[in-house]
Structure 1
Amino acid sequence: MLAVFKASVAEGPAELVSPHRQADVRKNGIDLINSFLSANSGAVCVNFGDVGAMAYIPKHQSLLVPRAFVAMDDIFCLFEGTLDNIMALRQQYGLNKSANEVTIVIEAYRTLRDRGPYPADQVVRDLSGKFAFLLFDFKSQTLFTAADADGSVPFFWGTAADGCLVLSDEVRSVKDGCGKSFAPFPRGCFFSTSGGLQSFEHPRNKLMPLPHVDSEGHMCGANFKVDELSKKGSPIPRVGSEANWANTF
C-alpha cells in the first residue's frame, strides 16, 4: 500500500528530512503515486483531489498479513494485519458479528471524532494484534495512522520533494519517493493531523528523534524512541462532556 498527503493535511516531523541534501534525491508526491500505478498492474487508487491519494494492490497480499480496504461515510481506511480481540472490540463498539478489523478501526475513529469517552492513545492501545493502518477522513481532512507495538507489519514513512507525507508497507516505494528522507514508522505509535506523532504505549512520555544511518553512511530520516525521562502533560481533557475531544488526536 502507498499513501501520499500534502503537508496541509499531514505534516510529518521535521526530523524525517535527511540533513544530507546532496545525497537526497526525492520525487513529488503525485509522481510517486503515478510511478506506483504504472509499476503495478491491477493497482487501485483512491484520489482525494489536491490533498492526497491512497493506492494498493488487491491481489498481492500475504496470507499471514492480510490487507483490507473500506470506504464508509467519507472515511477511507487501509488495514494490514489481524486483531486478536475482535470479539471484545465488536462488543465494545456495539458492532455485529460481520465487523472485521478495518470496520472496527473506522468505528474506533468515529468514536474519537464524535466525542467518545476515551483518549486516542487508549483506543489504539485496545487494538491487540499485528497491524498497521491508514485512515483518512475526507470531510475533516484528517489523517490517522498507527502501527502495533512490535512492528509486526512493515511500515515506513518519509517526506517527498514537495513536502508530502508518504506512507507505505514497502520500503522501496518510500525510498523511491523520499530518497534518504524516510524511516521506519515508530513502533507503538500513532500519527494524526492535529496531534502529530504520539506513543500509545507511553502517552505521558515525549518521543525523541535518533539518528538513522543507512548502509552507505548517509543520514536518513530520524527514528523515534520514547524518552523515558521526559514527561508531558496529560492528553486527556478531563473537563466534562462539553470538551472538544477532536483535539486529543
Structure 2
Amino acid sequence: MLAVLDKSLSKAAEGLRGPAPSGEENDARDVAALLHDFTEDKERQLTISLGSGAGLAWFAKNGNLLLRQFYAVVDNMFCLFEGRIDNLSNLNKYYGLHKRINEPTLVIEIYRTLRDRGPYPAEKVIRDIEGRFAFVILDMTAKSTFIAVDYDCTVPFYWGADSEERLILSDDAEFLKKACGKSFAIFPKGCFYTSTRGLRSYEHASYELKAVPWVDSHGDECWPTYEVDFETKKPTSLRRNDSDFDWSEEL
C-alpha cells in the first residue's frame, strides 16, 4: 500500500526530513507518477488521486494470509489497512457496528468516534485493538490523517519525506528509498501519528518521544530512529474521568 500526502494535509514528523547525502538529490515526482510506478504491472490494483497533493494506491498481494491488505472508503474518509484485528468481533459490538464489518471500515468508525465525540483518549482506543496491523486514514473533509501500527510493528511499514516535503508511507521499503532517498525510516512501533498532534506513543503514553539520528558509513546523517524518552514525562493530566472530557480536541 502507498499513501502520498502533501504537507498542507500532513507534515512529516520532526527530524524525518533529513539532509540529502553528499552529492545526491532525490528528484521529487508528482503524485500521479508515484501512484503509477507503485502499481505498474500489478493485478487487482487501485489508485485514488485526491487532488494535486494526495493519493493512495493498493494492490492485492499473494502470500501471508494472516497479513491481508484492505481498503475502504466511508463518507470521504479513506483507509488503507494491512494485517488483521484479532478482536474484530468484540470491537464491532462495542462500537455498535454490524458483525460483518471488516478491519479498515472498523478503524474508520473508530477514528470517526474519536473525531466527533472523543469519549476516550486516542491512546486508549488504539491499545484496545489486538492483532497485527498498520493503517493510514485520510479524512478529506477534515483535512486530517490518522496513522498507527501495532505494538511490535509486525507489519512492515515505512514512512519518509521527499524533497517536496511530502509525507509518503508504504509497506515497500525499496519503493520508499527511491522516492525519499535517505529521508525514510520504519514507522515507530507502538506509535500513532495525527496531522494535528504529530507522532505519539500509545504504548508509553506518559512519555515523550525523541528522534535519534543515524549516521551511515559515509558520515551522512540519515533518517532518525524514534524512541520513547523515559527521562521526559508529559505534563500530568488532571482529567480523572475520561467520560467528562471531549478528547476529540486531543486527536
TM-score, structure 1 as length reference: 0.91
* 1:222 Cα deviation from its structure 2 partner: 0.4
CA deviation map 1:170-215 (0-9, x unaligned):
1011111000000100000000111100001111210011123457
Q: Which residue is 1:2 aligned to?
A: 2
Residues 94-173 of structure 1: matches in 2 within 5 Å?
Answer: 94-173=96-175
Offset of 1:37 from its aligned partner?
3.4
SS in 2 for 1:76: strand
Q: Does 1:14 align with 2:1?
A: no
Pairwise CA RMSD: 2.3
User: 2:40 is matched with which residue?
Assistant: 38
5+ long unaligned stretches in structure 1? none
Give the equivalent residue in structure 2 for 1:79: 81
Kindly provide the CA deviation profile for residues 85-133 of structure 1, in whole angstroms up to 9, marking residues without a partner as x.
Answer: 1122112101121012112101110110111311111111111110000
Q: Give the number of aligned pairs.
A: 249
- Per-residue deviation at 1:64? 2.2
Separation in 1, partners of 2:183, 2:41: 22
State the Cα distance separating 1:36 from its structure 2 match.
1.7
Offset from partner CA, 1:62-92 (integer Å, 9 cap, x none): 3121011110111111110011111221121
The question of whether the paired residues in 2 share the 8 Å contact of 1:189 and 1:201 is answered with: yes
CA distance in 2, matches of 1:34, 1:162: 18
Contact 1:236–1:248 (CA under 8 A) maintained in structure 2:
no
Q: 1:8 to 1:27 in 2, by over 3 A?
A: same
TM-score, scaled relative to structure 2? 0.90
Provide the secondary structure at the position in 1 that maps to 2:214: strand
Equivalent residue, structure 1, for 2:222 = 220
Identity %: 39
Letter in 2 for 1:197: L
Q: Tell me if the contact between 2:146 and 2:192 (Cα under 8 Å) persists in the aligned partners.
A: yes
Give unmatched runs, 5+ long, in structure 2.
none
* 1:29–1:160 CA contact under 8 A, matched in 2: no
Identify the residue that residue 26 of structure 2 maps to in structure 1. 25
Contact 1:24–1:181 at 8 Å: present in 2 too? Answer: no
1:132-186 CA-to-partner distances (Å, cap 9, x unmatched) read 0011111011110101111100000000111100000110111110000001000
Identify if the C-alpha distance between structure 1 residues 203 and 25 changes in structure 2 by more than 3 Å, giving closer, same or farther. same
- Whether the aligned pair in 1 keeps the contact of 2:43 and 2:60 (CA below 8 Å) is no
**Shift in Å at residue 247 of structure 1?**
2.6
